[in-house]
Chains A and B, each alone.
Chain A
Amino acid sequence: MTVTLFIPCFMDALYPRAGISMVEILERLGHTVVCPEEIACCGQPPFNSGYWAEARTIATPVLEKLADAEAVVIGSGSCGAMVKKFYPELFKDTPHAELAKQVAARTWEFSDFLVSKLGVTDLGAKFPHKVTFHDGCHGLRELGIHKQPRALLTKVQGLELIELTEVSCCGFGGTFSAKFPMISTAMGEVKCAAAAETGAEYIVSSDSSCLMHIQGLLSRQGKPTKTISLAEVLNHR
């Protein structure tokens, strides 16, 4: 299969290792990976702030670039939800409405693609550490992804998964983290405290944006817990 990989803007700039891991995993599974260089962002920041016209300016060329893709794989539940769930909403009653629905139907979040589309859970990875998993809210509640990352993690050799006792948002929320920094920080602190309770060495997530927020707090507060993307764990051998 030819997989069109959509690397979100912050992953491109800040977390290239996560993207590289996805390419390597998909290629090892025998798929052809293409990555349109013109695509930088899905348009979620203006969309979530209410600037839908500005969001369409960014999303329209994305949609056109993805028009012929066999399968679009996005390395983020949040950007995945944007394309899969919110593009049809954003382009409703526009000339791109039909295309938005078609692309949405062919778009997958990375862990969902591996487990639900390809039926793969064991990637031969080794990661001898205690980890906990953070569900990004968009992946969890917009896309209903919960079992998929766990199915993948339980097959990683040496990995011990300890679940968080409470499911909560990390407090990132895109521009929310800058518009209401203290609320966002408080939410992040609650998340970090819950992760610390598990005794995990690493917080793993499908969403690098959540990890950016969590790691930002952990680093500032000098906490020892580390963060790592799911793709990197799955590519660790």
Chain B
Amino acid sequence: MSTFVSDFKTRATEKAGDLRHRSVIRTALRSYEIVRDKRKAAFQSWESARQAAAETKWEAINHLDKHLVALTSKLEARGTKVHWASTGAQAREIIAQILRDKKARSIIKSKAMTSEEIHLNHALEKEGFTVVESDLGEFIVQLRHEPPYHIVFPSMHLTRGEIKDLFQKELGDAPSDSPEELTMVARRVMRQKYLTADVGFTGGNFAIAETGMISITENEGNARLTAALPKTMVTLMGIEKVLPRFSDLALFLPMLATAGAGQPMTCYNTMYSGPRQPGECDGPEEWHVILLDNRRTELLADAEQRDSLHCIRCGACLNVCPIFRNVGGHTYGTTYSGPVGAVITPHLRGLQDWKHLSNASSLCGACTEACPVKIDLHHHLLQNRRNASASEPAFFERLAYQIFGLVANEPVFWSLAKKLGWLTQPLQRAVKGSALDPAKAWTKTRDLPPQPRESFKDWWRNRK
């Protein structure tokens, strides 16, 4: 067993039994569910909106080459420097080189999951740069030296009491556990950081091929400050974030807000089209956009699962996933957790090492139902399982299914198996849940149903 899977199982077992965690996440998501449903109802037809979004994304992804070229030429025409990174390492090096060239020391960041994906903070800090996260949730988990717990709500696993204690310990200031007062503490710290930062770093929610713009969505105004104050702006985004037309935002902005946070629109939506132009009085002097592949083109080559590149990182699938809700975001050990993480991580980081995430699902399909861009998430989990078993079958598991096949296909064997099951019930009850119990994975927490002497088929035969 790889360490990835044993670590996952250990953490999952621990968190699944953690009733406090279960209750914190349930409470947080309950209020999300109420507002999300309210906002969904405000769409004339949420289902038609999903269909339209899926079709737009299909068009974007299936003509990605064309859209990326258009995006790049438009961006470059207004003086933006566009860089292409095939791997995380390349992206890190491009960013580090920009910082070295600018003789930068401190970087302020707005929220970007791609930067988590390439482990940017760690790499920059190792080179001696100071990195500050400016999204409040990200700021909190950064103080805790933790990765974000959730794609959209990085610190949803923490109560305000815990955040108060954290601020007291790390910032020496936490007048109360009121969200407003805690926000003011963070704000005071951060305002100074914006003024002294040499480089502002952002992600991107959408890139518009038609106009050469990058659209950034946020609730706190921190991304605007990050982009506006430092002299140099650096933006990192996955190549799949491109949309064909400016007018597509009319659908995608409210959809992202609704699915992601139950908002009609996110508070701030800004479209960036270039660095400061001659005659303009504000904005960065230089803007670097790094377009990241990092094995996304491998997903693009997979006709069956290509639609997972539709993902707009809204987190809706995490919020409805009973696995995520019980094991929590950190258990996955991946940048992208929940159903979409279980689907794409095997493609981004290796199928055999990460197939366990696709197995850790009851295939309930709540994710697919929730996905605003209609990614066939839970069926992709099945395909990952099939691909993993086909390339490296587990000897005993396959043998078990072969034996099961023999028994199921031969009525005499099937009858015998049922008789054997009935006869050994007293024995099963005696060893229930112990190390001797072959069914202990089940019986440790659950009773087995009593098996009646007469099966359905016995009844059917006797009746005839």
Contact = CB atoms under 8 A, between A and B. Distances in A.
Contact of A213 (B382, B386, B389, B446): B446
A190 B449 CA distance: 20
Nearest to B421: A13
Contacts of B362: 137, 169, 171-174, 176-177, 184, 187
Given A12-B456, A177-B442, A58 B409 contact: yes
Interface string A148-189: 000000000000000000011101111011111111111110
B235 interface: no
B326 interface: yes
Interface string A35-52: 101101101011111111
Given A49-B401, A141-B368, A177-B442, A168 B322 contact: yes
B175 interface: no
Majority-rule SS of B interface residues: helix
A216 interface: yes
Contacts of A168: 322, 364, 366
Interface size class of A (residues with CB under 8 A): 35 or more
B447 interface: yes
A19 interface: yes
Majority-rule SS of A interface residues: helix
Instruction: Name, among A40, A58, A168, A173, the residue most crowded by chain B CB atoms within 10 Å (CB to CB).
Output: A40
A185 B445 contact: yes
B405 A169 contact: no
Contact of A13 (B366, B385, B455): B455
Given A141-B365, A169-B364, A51 B459 contact: no
A50 B393 CA distance: 9
Interface in B347-400: 359-366, 368-369, 382, 384-390, 393, 397-398
B89 interface: no
Nearest to A220: B447
A16 B456 contact: yes
A14 to B, nearest CB: 5
Contacts of B382: 47-48, 50
Interface string A50-76: 111011011001000000000000000
Nearest to A142: B365
Given A57-B409, A173-B361, A181-B445, A190 B455 contact: no
Contact of A219 (B402, B405, B447): B447
A142 B379 CA distance: 10
Instruction: Name, among A23, A47, A137, the residue most crowded by chain B CB atoms within 10 Å (CB to CB).
Output: A137
A178 B322 CA distance: 17
Nearest to A217: B446
Instruction: Name, among A13, A47, A185, the residue most crowded by chain B CB atoms within 10 Å (CB to CB).
Output: A13
Contact of B408 (A9, A187, A213): A9
B326 A190 contact: yes
Interface in B430-450: 439, 441-442, 444-449
Interface size class of B (residues with CB under 8 A): 35 or more
A58 B405 contact: yes
Contacts of A216: 442, 446-449
A54 B361 contact: no
Contact of A46 (B405, B442, B458, B460): B405
Given A7-B457, A12-B457, A40-B408, A48 B363 contact: yes
A20 to B, nearest CB: 6
A162 B362 CA distance: 25
B105 interface: no
B360 A176 contact: yes
A31 B408 CA distance: 28
Contacts of B9: 180
Contacts of B458: 16
Nearest to A9: B408
Given A15-B456, A46-B405, 7 more contacts: A50-B387, A51-B393, A141-B369, A171-B322, A178-B439, A183-B326, A187-B326
Interface of A: 7, 9, 11-16, 19-20, 23, 35, 37-38, 40-41, 43, 45-52, 54-55, 57-58, 61, 137-138, 140-142, 167-169, 171-174, 176-188, 190, 212-213, 215-217, 219-220
25 contacts: A16-B455, A20-B456, A37-B457, A37-B461, A46-B405, A47-B382, A52-B390, A58-B409, A61-B409, A137-B362, A141-B364, A141-B365, A142-B365, A167-B366, A174-B362, A180-B360, A183-B360, A184-B362, A185-B446, A187-B322, A190-B322, A215-B449, A216-B449, A217-B445, A220-B445
